[in-house]
Amino acid sequence: MKLLVEILLAIFLHPIAFVLCVVNIVGRRDLGGVQKVVWIVVTFIWGIGPILYVLLGDGAFW
């Protein structure tokens, strides 16, 4: 259920999803500096970026 809410949030409210992703990315200790920058750039892509981060990057919005 949480995944469905995150996907809908990413599609319809991208600016909010982007900010939530960036907060999560910056707080992650398992990513290096370059990886963090790459994920921030990927999540900037409208609609699909945050979905990719949640599915492939082992990330979360909250």
| Tens digit of each residue's pLDDT, the chain (62 residues) | 777 887 787 778 878 888 888 898 899 999 899 999 998 898 888 778 787 887 777 766 66
Please give the tally of structural domains in the chain. Answer: 1
Round to whole Å and give the CA distance between 62 and 56. 16
Please check whether residue 45 lies inside any domain of the structure.
yes
Full DSSP string of the chain: -HHHHHHHHHHH-HHHHHHHHHHHHHH-SSS-HHHHHHHHHHHTSTTHHHHHHHHHS-----
Please check whether residue 11 lies inside any domain of the structure.
yes
pLDDT for position 26: 93
Residue type, 27: G
pLDDT for position 34: 95
pTM: 0.74
CB 53 within 8 A of CB 43: yes
Please check whether residue 62 lies inside any domain of the structure.
no
pLDDT for position 61: 61
pLDDT for position 33: 93
Please check whether residue 61 lies inside any domain of the structure.
no
Host domain of residue 38: 2-56
